[in-house]
Amino acid sequence: MPDNRRILVTNTTPLIALSVATGSLDILRTLYDRVIVPREVAEEVLAATPQAPGAAAFREAVWLDVRTTAIDLPIYLNNTLDLGKASVIQTALVERIEKVCIDETVGRRIARLNGLVLTGTAGILVKAAQQGYPVDLSAALERMHSHGIWLGEEVKRFILAAAVS
């Protein structure tokens, strides 16, 4: 794959979680030159009410590369994952983009099996903090929790350890 480490294809959950954690999606803009959102993911983010967590931040992030055409999914992805995660993986494979942002275990496993590099909400928060992005990780975790976004204790420790390093 070409050297495109500053390009990311992202799934729904990280978009919602990051917008809740930080109030916008600008954290992605600081870490990546291009953030691709497959049509299926955009539809998931916007399917809820306009007041749903993440919807306003998603609409305001006009710099996102939101695709308007559905991607053809191979049968194995279509039968294994929901449309959002399957479209993220297939978009990355078709466009030869090495990095995807997926939080859910099964999606991450399938992405790895397809040779993709992974990040998720936790990885993005930590990387941003390490690069000087002004994010209070403890407050970000609290905002996520208050919106029903649950992280395991190990993931929380990983994120908070970045706050002191």
Contact assessment for residue 120 and residue 102, using Cβ atoms and an 8 Å cutoff: yes
| Beta-sheet strands, E only, within the chain | 7-10, 34-37, 65-66, 99-101, 117-119
| Cβ count near 9 (within 10 Å) | 28
In the chain the domains, ranked by start, together with CATH numbers, are 7-164 (3.40.50.1010)
CA pair distance 105, 69, nearest whole angstrom: 26
User: If DSSP codes are grouped into helix, strand and coil, which group holds residue 159?
Assistant: helix
- From first to last of the 165 residues of the chain, give the pLDDT tens digit: 444 669 999 999 999 999 999 999 999 999 999 999 999 999 999 887 667 788 889 999 999 999 999 999 999 999 999 999 999 999 999 999 999 999 999 999 999 999 999 999 999 999 999 999 999 999 999 999 999 888 889 888 888 887 666
CA pair distance 5, 23, nearest whole angstrom: 25
Q: What is the pLDDT of residue 1?
A: 42
Q: What is the pLDDT of residue 139?
A: 93
Name the pTM for this structure: 0.92
